[in-house]
């Protein structure tokens, strides 16, 4: 008997700024499995132009009306961060699954609201963390979990980007209420999620955050020291101040160092593999394992959407949702709490009643200074 035709899904895109085009390309890569029916944006001209350019039938400025009209199976959310929680819940309650841009929401309390909506509706919502979904990352994760590289020992995770005054002139950027944070939440979140995906559960974090040079109320740099359940230790830098931009992850295992250098996306060619001196005797087999890459799939929205559709087909929770998404958001929350309080923050310690459970900054302000002062 012929195999059944693959399921197809109707989708609605919310937000037609620059990242909207990435979602269109991801939908196009599904080769008909997803039909992008329309888009929503508060800017009537922008959404009209976007829909005309991409030949979408429905261009709307009212999100609730668009949900009712399109009746989507899938909502792709690329709106400003402070809107992610209410838009995600509205989509779930309209019967859709949700794939939402980072940051997923503004606090652990908001994430619990989303979890409650999932429970009510039987639908799932996931955060876009496309750096996880390259085939080269799956390859590294597999050979590491097989023990071929030995235990992970030391890691570095740097997001060294540059964002100028024009970037922060966008009205929703640069505030706790609307952007939800600085380069920790808006830039470095991708690489940090990638690090956690590769190294697993974290146990404690000690951090600092500062506003050194940008006229914003959130941080423009943060740094952290992290301990993992495996015993591995990592250092993290998130910066909006770095003219030579780079995203860099380094993992030192007992038998090899693995490095990834890129900016916004990567393929297998962005990795570097170095054997430890004492591993030279088994070097041929380790190198062969490392070089046995699967067909190359880059870290794109399309790669994550493909995995998300597989979860929709099976009716199961997708990657980067539920507890998987919570691990990353809890880590970011702990980083901020440590920066503002000067404490080492342990996983599981931020609970209802803690001010950082309800808000990433815990109600604190960040001093802006050119002499290096930070959290206050």
Tens digit of each residue's pLDDT (9 = 90 or more) over 313-324: 999 999 999 999
Q: How many residues does the chain have?
A: 376
Sign, CA dihedral 115-85-138-192, equals: negative
Average pLDDT over residues 166-171: 96
CA dist 76 and 72 (Å) reads 10
pLDDT grade for 375, boundaries at 50, 70 and 90: low
Average pLDDT over residues 65-80: 98
What own/partner pairs with CB < 8 Å and gap ≥ 24 does 220-225 have?
220/163, 220/182, 220/183, 221/182, 221/183, 222/182, 222/183, 222/184, 222/188, 222/335, 222/339, 224/335, 224/338
Average pLDDT over residues 87-99: 98
CA dist 226 and 276 (Å) reads 23
pLDDT at residue 369, as a whole number: 65
Written out in words, the top-level CATH class of the domain with range 9-131+303-320 is alpha beta
pLDDT at residue 95, as a whole number: 98
Query: Mind listing the pLDDT tens digit for each residue in 290-308?
Result: 999 999 999 999 999 999 9
- Looking at the chain, the whole-number percentage of residues with pLDDT higher than 70 is 97
pLDDT at residue 343, as a whole number: 97
32 or 284: whose pLDDT is higher?
32
Question: Is the pLDDT score of 370 beyond 60?
Answer: no
Question: Is the pLDDT score of 244 beyond 90?
Answer: yes
CATH topology of domain 134-296+327-358: Dihydrodipicolinate Reductase; domain 2 (3.30.360)
pLDDT at residue 376, as a whole number: 46
Q: What is the mean pLDDT of the chain?
A: 95
pLDDT grade for 4, boundaries at 50, 70 and 90: confident
Domain ranges of the chain: 9-131+303-320, 134-296+327-358
Query: Mind listing the pLDDT tens digit for each residue in 102-148?
Result: 999 999 999 999 999 999 999 999 999 999 999 999 999 999 999 99
């Amino acid at each position: 008997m012929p195999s059944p035709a693959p399921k197809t899904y109707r989708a609605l895109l919310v937000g037609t700024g620059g990242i909207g085009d990435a979602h269109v390309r991801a939908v196009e890569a599904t080769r008909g499995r997803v039909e992008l029916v329309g888009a929503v944006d508060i800017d009537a001209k922008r959404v009209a132009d976007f829909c005309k350019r991409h030949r979408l039938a429905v261009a709307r400025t009212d999100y609730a009306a668009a949900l009712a009209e399109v009746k989507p199976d899938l909502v792709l959310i690329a709106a400003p961060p402070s809107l992610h929680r209410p838009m995600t819940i509205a989509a779930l309650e309209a019967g859709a699954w949700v794939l939402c841009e980072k940051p997923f929401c503004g606090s652990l309390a908001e994430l619990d609201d989303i979890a409650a909506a999932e429970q009510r509706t039987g639908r799932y919502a996931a955060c876009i963390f496309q750096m996880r979904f390259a085939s080269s990352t799956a390859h590294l994760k597999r050979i590491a979990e097989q023990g071929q590289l030995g235990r992970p020992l030391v890691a570095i995770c740097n997001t060294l980007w540059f964002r100028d005054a024009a970037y922060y002139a966008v009205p929703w950027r640069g505030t706790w209420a609307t952007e939800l944070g600085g380069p920790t939440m808006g830039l470095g979140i991708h690489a940090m999620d990638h690090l956690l995906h590769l190294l697993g559960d974290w146990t404690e974090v000690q951090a600092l955050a500062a506003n050194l040079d940008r006229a914003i109320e959130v941080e423009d740099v943060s740094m952290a020291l992290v301990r993992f359940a495996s015993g591995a230790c990592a250092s993290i830098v998130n910066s909006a101040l770095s003219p030579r931009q780079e995203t860099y992850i380094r993992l030192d295992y007992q038998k090899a160092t693995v490095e990834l250098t890129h900016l916004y996306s990567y393929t297998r060619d962005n990795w570097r593999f170095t054997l430890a001196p004492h591993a030279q005797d088994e070097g041929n087999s380790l190198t062969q394992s490392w070089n046995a890459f699967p067909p190359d799939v880059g870290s794109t929205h399309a790669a994550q959407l493909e995995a998300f559709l597989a979860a929709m087909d099976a009716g199961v929770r997708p990657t980067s949702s539920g507890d998987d998404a919570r691990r990353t958001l809890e880590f970011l929350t702990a980083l901020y709490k440590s920066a503002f309080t000067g404490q080492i923050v342990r996983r599981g310690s931020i609970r209802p009643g803690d001010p950082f459970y309800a808000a990433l900054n815990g109600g604190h302000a960040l001093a802006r200074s050119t002499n290096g002062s930070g959290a206050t």
